[in-house]
Chain A
Amino acid sequence: MRAFRYHRPRDIAEAVAVVAAEPDATYLGGGTNLVDLMKLGVARPGLLVDVTRLPLDTIGTLPDGGLRIGATVRNSDLAADLTVRRDFPMLARALLAGASGQLRNMATVGGNLLQRTRCLYFQDVTKPCNKREPGAGCAAREGQHRDLAILGTSDACVATHPSDLAVALAALDAVVEVQEPAGPRDIPLAELLRLPGDEPDRETTMVRGGLVTAVRVPPLPYARVSTYRKARDRASFAFAAGSVAAAVGLDDGTVRDVRLAFGAVAHRPWRAYVAEDALRGQPATPESFGRAADAELAAAQPLRDNGFKVPLVRNLTVATLTDLVDSHRRAAAWVP
């Protein structure tokens, strides 16, 4: 393991200045991903700038009813927040579906969004990987790739983004506040993380030294009935084989508006815009849900061993939206 220095910045400006000035400096959140990768030799920073003491650890309500979540809020605290649980249950469920209690106690929001792929070859420095070493080749495409992407892949890389939280945030149109060396900037979450293209080593649209300071979640009243469903072989402590974050707004039996995002299918959380467009104004039935999912998944390009993700995500979509429609009905029928 490479020897490294550790620095605890006084404020955000100093943090960004230090990382921008040192080419091998990097931010340290809870360290649950970064420290593992350092032990494996995948990440070899010379300087760690610990952001967890910066004043970014609060969850606030915005005047418009939305949320502002500090970048160093721990995953456990966010999942337990009463406003989150009441107004955006899909967020709490996505968090609780991820990792384990111990990890969630350490993991920060910023670190969760910027965690690296779990592709088996990315994590093994003895195997070729374009993301780790541009031009080296991709061992996963012909190798073991059951967990990898079916949408938005490139010849260079078929990795997935592993976060559950990010999928829910993508569905909720979250905006990421970043501090870059040139100043602060807002980036829609769906644009923060890139598709691999020819440069799978470039994962975000931030400039080097960019620090995530907060995530804003705009208000979405119908998300009070929303959920996150994750399929996996092991009942807990496993990354998704496929997942869906969903909220649906109904007018009688018709879909007024819908939010849908898929996890474990692409290099970033996959906001299902095609399916959403196909659903608006349609009857809220399993048939329309299935058709919309098919429309979204028509672009899927499965690999040898991950074709199952197409029916998996389709089924998850139909089952999840159908459950939400039932929940709305039960809520409407509920008389205190």
Chain B
Amino acid sequence: MGTLTRAVGQAHARLDGPDKVRGAARYSVEYPVENVAYAWPVPSTVVKGRITRVDTRAALAEPGVLAVLSYENAPRLTPAGDPELFVLQEPAVAYRGQIVALAVAGSLEAAREAAGLVRLEYDTWPHDTVLTENHPGLYQPSHVNPSLPTDTEIGNFDAGYAAAPVRVDATYRTPAEHNNPMEPHASTVQWQGDRLVVHDANQGPGQVQAGLATLFGLPPERVRVITEHVGGGFGCKTMRCCVVLAALAARHVDRPVRLALTRQQMFGVVGYRTPTIQRIRLGADPTGRLTASCHDAISQSSMLKEFAEQTAVYGRPLYAAPHRRTTHRLARLDVPSPAWMRAPGQCPGSFAVESAMDELAVTCGVDPVELRIRNEPATDPEEGTPYSSRNLVACLREGAHRFGWADRDRTPAVRRAGRCLLGTGVAGSIYPARSLVSSASAYAGPDGAFLVQINAVDIGTGARTALWQIAADELGVPPDRVMIRVGDTGLPEASLAGGSTGTASWGWAVAKVCREIRVQIDDVHGGSVPAGGVHAQVDTTADIQAQQTFSRYAFGAQFAEVRVDVDTGEVRVDRLLGVFAAGRIVNALTARSQLIGGMTMGMSMALLEEGLWDPRSGDWANHDLATYHVAGCADIEQIEAYWLDEDDPHLNPAGVKGIGEIGIVGTAAAITNAVYHATGVRVRDLPVRLDRLLGHRA
């Protein structure tokens, strides 16, 4: 076995790839189920109010319609923490788009038609839906997501800033952004006696199991959630109302029920990234060394629940400055509940901080790569703890080298190609590296095959393939002898797919259980698997509790080259290049996809994505992919992602930091910094949009 090539680090194609290409991979509403009925939600058309009458006569008269559910007749639920899951229980309406009724029919078309025929009457009240920096309702939440301090202060920012010879004070805005995975939220639900069997698109089957168990008053073991394939999540597929609605309908009509949200409905009920208003103040000496920094972030949440985006945490562990402050303020508005979206907090926060760093570089006349290097701290500037590893500077240097940054002329608005202005920009990038508790089991068969099982979920990232590679190496066998099963609550419990923790957390449990199997085979059974096979199950609670205190982060540097048409203001990205230091890279192929996927989404955020709010109707004005634009292939000429070999012993057995989110962090700022370099126009409100550059002709 000494000559075995390690599977970790190889570019293995995804195990689920061939099935997906052939259309054989089943998504949640594609499982054949006999006698299935279809449910179609009815969103509220008022913003703030109370249902006074539900008239279902016309809907029920439609051929094929089985039922219309509303708060009046839906099965009762037990609250499960998140008010967004407590659907069809009360007449109150907290935002427009909230689901207020559900039509169920024998066909999808009949359900859809019936949903449109449900007549609801409401009492309504005036609504307040627009976030402003001086909104009277702004308050200081007790903590920000997931459980971080709301405000921090080290030293004395006010004094430090007042004394600084160079200052930058700027306000940046990001609009509401919507996750929009390809596959919508979708569920097929069957009650089998008092057991609930659910095929559901989500980022945590265990979370959905627990949620349904509480809502329906069942012991968790009577709820089985199967999540074999998921067409993307980006944060919005933590548990949502879709599966609850399907389960309510299935119980009510006593038939299996399918429900897939439409794109339009998703804009209302699956969460979105809150708009942010961020003021950054930086104080520095004339060489660009920071003496004071302050990040004040404002965001919104709904009346239903507090969701406090952790926008200002981005800079806490990043650049050195003796005097520093961060604050978060929140306004609760009559709007849909915001939720997790790829790199929550870090992503919008990085736009503001990395833009301000660029503005400081311009003010000081210092190269922006060099400026960041000058502000490199020795230890975490807020926690005082050492970094488990920190390679921001290495990423910046490697990126600058690969990008050809060295002889960049800093003067803005002087490079032309035909009718276009050209520019380049850079931004730093940081994302926490965390591991969560998980368990896994493994079985070694006498035939030399191994089965590893964990209720992890592969939302299209390649997670199952990475775990399979880790397992093969730990078992010391070629990967084709290992089978991996994920995405089923019948398997050992694991953490959800979020916060870039998947491979770090699940990989830990998988590595541990495989080592355990190896020990049993080698030490207990003398090197060969007995006829009955060998079985083991582990969990990582104790290991994670025993972790030493470190600041654990992945770092990156992003470089962008843009072209701005002087006639139209159109911005096109000629090149994006990212270099990341994210621990060990398990699979070069899927890692590259994650990184360039994140960078593409960051570019999309910079140039295109914008939930257009209509204050009069209290609703999104755009709510489909024809009007909410995400970047396509034609939007980028060249995109490159590289990583540094990083061997960080303080992480987890797989040595990984997580790569799902770091790719989107900093990208938008790299692009707007490049737009500034191209045109001399500093865009502080995203997305850039051609009209924001038109009229600034060079």
Contact = CB atoms under 8 A, between A and B. Distances in A.
Interface of A: 1-3, 39-41, 118, 120-121, 123-127, 139, 142-144, 146, 231-239, 241-242, 308, 311-312, 315-316, 318-319
Contact of A144 (B45, B112, B116, B614): B614
Contacts of B90: none
Contacts of B448: none
Interface stretch (B191-199, B436-444, B577-585, B631-639): B631-639
Contacts of B617: 126-127, 139, 143
A236 B112 CA distance: 32
A139 B631 contact: no
A234 B694 contact: no
Interface in B556-592: 565-570, 572
B646 interface: no
B373 interface: no
Given A312-B690, A316-B568, A319-B419, A234 B621 contact: no
Given A144-B621, A316-B568, A234 B109 contact: no
Contacts of A236: 632-635
B689 interface: yes
Given A315-B567, A316-B567, A234 B631 contact: yes
Contacts of B110: 3
B648 interface: no
A41 B624 CA distance: 15
Interface in B618-659: 619, 621-624, 626-627, 629, 631-635
B364 interface: no
Given A139-B616, A318-B567, A231 B690 contact: yes
A238 to B, nearest CB: 6
A118 B695 CA distance: 26
Contacts of A39: 112
A3 B608 CA distance: 37
Nearest to A234: B629
A146 B567 contact: no
A308 B695 contact: yes
Given A233-B608, A308-B695, A1 B568 contact: no
B612 A241 contact: no
Across the A-B interface, the 6 shortest Cβ-Cβ residue pairs? A308-B691, A144-B621, A236-B634, A315-B567, A231-B568, A235-B634
Contacts of B109: 1, 3
Contacts of A124: 264, 623
B16 interface: no
Given A236-B633, A318-B567, 16 more contacts: A118-B627, A120-B621, A143-B617, A144-B612, A146-B691, A231-B565, A231-B568, A232-B690, A234-B631, A234-B634, A237-B632, A241-B691, A308-B695, A312-B569, A312-B691, A315-B567
Contacts of A118: 626-627
A234 B614 contact: no
B645 to A, nearest CB: 35
Most buried by B among A126, A232, A239: A126
B113 interface: yes
Contacts of A318: 567
Contact of A311 (B419, B607, B695): B695
B180 to A, nearest CB: 14
Contacts of A146: 691
Contacts of A234: 607-608, 629, 631-632, 634-635
Contacts of A127: 614, 617, 619
What DSSP secondary structure best describes chain A's contact surface?
A: loop
Most buried by B among A143, A232, A236: A143
B695 A233 contact: no
A315 B568 contact: yes
B1 to A, nearest CB: 50
Contact of A120 (B45, B572, B612, B689): B612
Nearest to A125: B116
Interface in B398-423: 419
A319 B629 CA distance: 26
A125 B616 CA distance: 16
Nearest to A318: B567
Contacts of B622: 120, 144
B59 to A, nearest CB: 13
Nearest to A99: B626
Given A118-B627, A120-B622, A235-B632, A311 B608 contact: no
A308 B691 CA distance: 6
Nearest to B604: A234
B687 interface: yes
A212 to B, nearest CB: 24
A3 B113 contact: yes
B607 A233 contact: yes
B621 A311 contact: no
A236 B45 CA distance: 33
A311 B690 contact: no
Contact of A142 (B112, B419, B608, B616): B616
A118 B608 CA distance: 18
A149 to B, nearest CB: 15
Interface string B476-501: 00000000000000000000000000
B621 A233 contact: no
Nearest to B622: A120
Interface string B107-127: 001101100100000000000
B619 to A, nearest CB: 8
A241 B629 CA distance: 13
A1 B113 contact: yes
A315 B406 CA distance: 35
A146 B572 CA distance: 20
A292 B592 CA distance: 51
Nearest to B567: A315
B694 A308 contact: yes
B478 to A, nearest CB: 41
A233 B614 contact: no
A125 B623 CA distance: 13
A242 B419 CA distance: 17
5 contacts: A1-B112, A3-B110, A143-B616, A233-B608, A238-B629
Most buried by B among A235, A316, A318, A319: A235
Contacts of A125: 116
Nearest to A237: B632
Interface in B679-698: 687, 689-691, 694-695
A126 B112 CA distance: 15
Interface in B41-81: 45, 63
Contacts of A142: 616
A267 B614 CA distance: 22
A118 B628 CA distance: 12
A324 B691 CA distance: 25
B689 A233 contact: yes
A179 B687 CA distance: 46
Nearest to A320: B567
Contacts of B632: 234-237
A305 B358 CA distance: 29
Contacts of A3: 63, 109-110, 113
A265 B588 CA distance: 48
A131 B614 CA distance: 19
Contacts of A123: 624
Contacts of B568: 231, 241-242, 312, 315-316
Contact of B614 (A139, A231, A237, A308): A139
Contact of A126 (B45, B635, B695): B45
A235 B572 contact: yes
B635 A235 contact: yes
Contacts of B687: 233
A242 B568 CA distance: 9
A109 B236 CA distance: 40
Nearest to B693: A308
B562 to A, nearest CB: 12
Interface string B332-348: 00000000000000000
A312 B565 CA distance: 11
Nearest to A230: B568
